[in-house]
Amino acid sequence: MIYVDVIGDKYGPLIDDDIVEASLFAIKELMPRKKNLEITIELCPTGDSAEGWHWMEEKHIHRIELNPFLSTEDFVTCLFHELVHVRQAERGIEDDDSLPYDERPNEIEAYALQEELFEKWKKLK
């Protein structure tokens, strides 16, 4: 079962249902055959230059932290970026920390797909 939970303080214009809806859209686009996935999205100030973070707690269980103070467009784009990292982790693709951030294949893919997903999502809205 695909399970998305949103926790934390709500500051931005999106409500939990909007965040879950956008998440399920991206999961369906990125991982259409995925049947077992649990994602907790925590809305919290991220504390540094990153607007979002992802980590896999264990296989099929992921956590995403997102800055709730972003505009709707930036928030959804950041959410999609982190969900690309969920897909990468599920596929066993690890980030190459030896490369500069903007040269890492995982980040290049995440930035490209976040934009594609956002354009598709806008058409549905």
Q: Check: CB of residue 47 under 8 Å from CB of residue 62.
A: no
Q: Is 1 helix (H, G, I), strand (E, B) or coil?
A: coil
The residues facing 39 across adjacent strands are: 4, 62
User: Which pLDDT score is estimated for 26?
Assistant: 98
**CATH code, 2-124:** 3.40.390.30
Q: Is 33 helix (H, G, I), strand (E, B) or coil?
A: coil
Domain boundaries, the chain: 2-124
Q: Looking at the predicted structure, is the pLDDT value of residue 116 above 90? A: yes
Gap between the Cα atoms of 117 and 77, Å rounded: 8
Residue with the larger pLDDT of the pair 30 and 14: 30
**Residues 110, 116: Cα–Cα separation, whole Å:** 10
Q: Are 70 and 34 in contact (CB under 8 A)?
A: no
Q: Which of 8-17, 57-66, 99-108 has the lowest mean pLDDT?
A: 8-17
- Which pLDDT score, from 0 to 100, does residue 13 have? 67
Residue range 79-96: mean pLDDT, rounded: 96
Mean pLDDT of 30-52: 91
Which band of pLDDT confidence, cut at 50, 70 and 90, is reported for residue 49?
Answer: confident
